[in-house]
């Protein structure tokens, strides 16, 4: 029986009902996914509230501690991480929680004990911008763990683990939840007056081209030659530059308006800066699902990379297909010279 209701612009649809409707449309669905997503939704509402009240509650600024990447943690990084763990920790179908902020993953239960999924997250992306009220966000992906084996970290790194959903929440001038479960990208906006994410746009589609690049150009002396020659070309073509410095905010603009986001490898960071599992792959899935492209500098599809380390880094080039193709043309030409 088809339970789906025809969509019209007048229907009010919460994130929760949207996910439930998706599950009902798939015979045999277990409801696992809505169970996980409701915890993510609760966590991000709580984090968004903390972010907005940070100055009032005096939780801005750095901690003395560094995170697992040798970066200074903000107080809010730790708060956001704790909120996610407390919201997701009790969901019986989650085996492992993996956070950018923690060296070791939290193993909640083995595969035999029902831990069928891993949730990977960057609790607060762009956190060094928080003192100046710039948009920050939470990035996550949900991975289905292989049936064989014990679960745990090995399962997360297994080539048989598959990302079944990705998303982010941008705590900006409005709070936006972008979600893909592999069937396009849907956009929800938090209606603070009712405390619910409501569907704002189905099937977000990126423009095929847009003359905007987003890169930290101050590092240009440390860029590979191909990146510099791409930028020279973009300057002569009259491109515009937009760089916020919070990946969530930069990718959100790129998803809606088109353009290209580039965080290349640099001479001082030959692997790149962004983290494959918490930042690059979830964003790559969203971008591809919105009709765009997400690759490394060598043109390899980010979603095809198999991590060998949870905290692995990668170069990231993502955005409108036409723009990413143009970038790769320069990088590859440079390669063959
Ligand atoms: P995080 O706050 O989670 O450590 O991530 C910061 C990342 C990302 O949000 C952004 O794209 C990038 O760092 C900016 O780096 P630069 O300051 O080197 O441009
Ligand atoms: Mn981040
Ligand atoms: Mn972070």
What lies within 8 Å, CB to CB, of 1 at 6+ separation is: none
Assigned domain for 9 exists: no
Q: What is the pLDDT of residue 42?
A: 97
Q: Which residue has the higher pLDDT, 5 or 150?
A: 150
Distance CA 45, CA 196 (A): 9
Residue 29: Cβ within 10 Å count: 13
Q: What is the pLDDT of residue 300?
A: 97
Are 84 and 194 within one domain? yes
Counting ligands in written order, the one closest to the CA of 316 is: 1
Distance CA 281, CA 304 (A): 9
Contact 101, 94 (CB under 8 A): no
Å from CA of 315 to ligand 1 middle: 12
Q: Is 101 in the pocket of ligand 1 (CB under 6 A)?
A: no
Using CA positions, which residue lies closest to atom 6 of ligand 1? 126
Distance CA 83, CA 144 (A): 22
**61-99 tens-digit pLDDT:** 888 777 777 777 888 999 999 999 999 998 989 999 999
Q: What is the pLDDT of residue 28?
A: 78
Assigned domain for 247 exists: yes
Using CA positions, which residue lies closest to atom 11 of ligand 1? 247
Q: Is 77 in the pocket of ligand 1 (CB under 6 A)?
A: no
Å from CA of 105 to ligand 2 middle: 17
The per-residue pLDDT of the chain, averaged, comes to: 92
The CATH number of the domain holding residue 275 is: 3.40.190.80
Among 201, 228, 244, identify where a domain stops: 201
Percent of the chain residues past pLDDT 70, beyond the cut: 96
Among 201, 220, 236, identify where a domain stops: 201
Domain count within the chain: 2
Are 148 and 228 within one domain? no
Residues in a beta bridge with 121: 99, 140
Are 68 and 20 within one domain? yes
Assigned domain for 127 exists: yes
Q: Is 266 in the pocket of ligand 1 (CB under 6 A)?
A: no
Pocket test for ligand 1, best of 67, 102, 126 (most atoms within 8 A of CB): 126
Are 130 and 168 within one domain? yes
> Within 13 A of 71's CA, how many CA atoms are on the CB side?
18
Residue 224: pLDDT above 80?
yes
Q: Is 16 in the pocket of ligand 1 (CB under 6 A)?
A: no
Pocket test for ligand 1, best of 135, 261, 263, 311 (most atoms within 8 A of CB): 263
Note down the domain range covering 285. Answer: 212-336
Counting ligands in written order, the one closest to the CA of 279 is: 2
The CATH number of the domain holding residue 29 is: 3.30.540.10
Please spell the DSSP secondary structure of 283-327, one letter per residue. HHHHHHHTT-EEE-TT--BGGG---SSTT-EE-EEEE-HHHHHHH
Are 19 and 104 within one domain? yes
Q: Is 138 in the pocket of ligand 1 (CB under 6 A)?
A: no
Counting ligands in written order, the one closest to the CA of 126 is: 1
Q: Is 122 in the pocket of ligand 1 (CB under 6 A)?
A: yes
Residue 2: pLDDT above 90?
no
Residue 196: Cβ within 10 Å count: 18
Among 201, 235, 266, identify where a domain stops: 201
Distance CA 310, CA 273 (A): 14
Q: How far is C-alpha 195 from the chain's CA centre?
A: 23
Assigned domain for 99 exists: yes
Q: Is 262 in the pocket of ligand 1 (CB under 6 A)?
A: no
Are 118 and 223 within one domain? no
Are 130 and 155 within one domain? yes
Are 35 and 141 within one domain? yes
Assigned domain for 10 exists: no
Longest dimension (CA), the chain: 61
What lies within 8 Å, CB to CB, of 69 at 6+ separation is: 100, 275, 311
Q: Which residue has the higher pLDDT, 335 or 321?
A: 321
Residue 334: pLDDT above 80?
no
Are 225 and 177 within one domain? no
Residue 281: pLDDT above 70?
yes
pLDDT grade, residue 4 (50/70/90)? Answer: low
Using CA positions, which residue lies closest to atom 12 of ligand 1? 245
Counting ligands in written order, the one closest to the CA of 136 is: 1
Assigned domain for 7 exists: no
Q: What is the pLDDT of residue 18?
A: 92
- Nearest 5°: the CA angle 138, 90, 195 is 50
Assigned domain for 1 exists: no
Q: Which residue has the higher pLDDT, 153 or 330?
A: 330
Are 255 and 167 within one domain? no
Å from CA of 32 to ligand 1 middle: 32
Tokens read off for 40: 């993510």
Q: Which residue has the higher pLDDT, 76 or 4?
A: 76
Are 235 and 302 within one domain? yes
**125-167 tens-digit pLDDT:** 999 888 899 999 999 999 999 988 777 888 999 989 999 999 9
Average pLDDT of span 306-312: 95
Distance CA 60, CA 127 (A): 10
Are 41 and 189 within one domain? yes
Among the listed ranges 111-115, 230-234, 273-277, which one has the minimum average pLDDT value?
Answer: 111-115
Q: What is the pLDDT of residue 280?
A: 98
Q: Is 216 in the pocket of ligand 1 (CB under 6 A)?
A: yes
Assigned domain for 5 exists: no
Distance CA 89, CA 288 (A): 30
Place of tokens 């036409």: 322
């Amino acid at each position: 029986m088809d339970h789906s209701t025809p969509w019209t612009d007048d229907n009010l649809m919460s994130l929760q009902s949207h996910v439930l409707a998706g599950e009902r449309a798939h015979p045999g669905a277990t409801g696992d996914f809505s169970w996980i997503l409701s915890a993510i939704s609760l966590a991000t509402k709580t984090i968004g509230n903390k972010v907005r009240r940070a100055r009032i509650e005096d939780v801005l600024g750095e901690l003395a501690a560094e995170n697992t990447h040798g970066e200074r943690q903000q107080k809010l990084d730790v708060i956001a991480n704790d909120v996610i763990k407390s919201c997701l920790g009790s969901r019986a179908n989650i085996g492992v929680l993996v956070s950018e902020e923690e060296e070791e993953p939290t193993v909640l239960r083995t595969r035999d004990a029902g831990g069928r999924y891993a949730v990977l997250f960057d609790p607060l992306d762009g956190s060094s911008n928080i003192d100046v009220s710039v948009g920050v966000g939470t990035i996550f992906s949900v991975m289905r763990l292989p049936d064989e084996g014990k679960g745990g970290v090995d399962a997360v790194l297994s080539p048989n683990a598959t990302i079944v959903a990705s998303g982010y929440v941008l705590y900006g001038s409005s709070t936006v939840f972008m979600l893909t479960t592999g069937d396009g990208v849907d956009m929800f906006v938090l209606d603070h007056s009712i405390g619910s994410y409501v569907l704002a746009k189905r099937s977000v589609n990126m423009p095929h081209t847009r003359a905007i690049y987003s890169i930290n150009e101050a590092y240009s002396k440390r860029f590979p030659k191909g990146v510099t020659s791409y930028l020279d070309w973009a300057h002569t073509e009259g491109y515009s530059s937009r760089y916020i410095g919070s990946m969530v905010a930069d990718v959100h603009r790129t998803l809606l308006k088109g353009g290209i986001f580039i965080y290349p490898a640099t001479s001082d960071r030959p692997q790149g800066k962004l983290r494959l599992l918490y930042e690059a792959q979830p964003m790559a899935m969203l971008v591809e699902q919105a009709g765009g492209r997400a690759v490394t500098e060598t043109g390899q599809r980010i979603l095809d990379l198999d991590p060998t380390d949870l905290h692995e880094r990668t170069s990231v080039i993502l955005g409108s297909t036409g723009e990413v193709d143009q970038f790769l043309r320069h990088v590859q030409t440079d390669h063959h010279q």
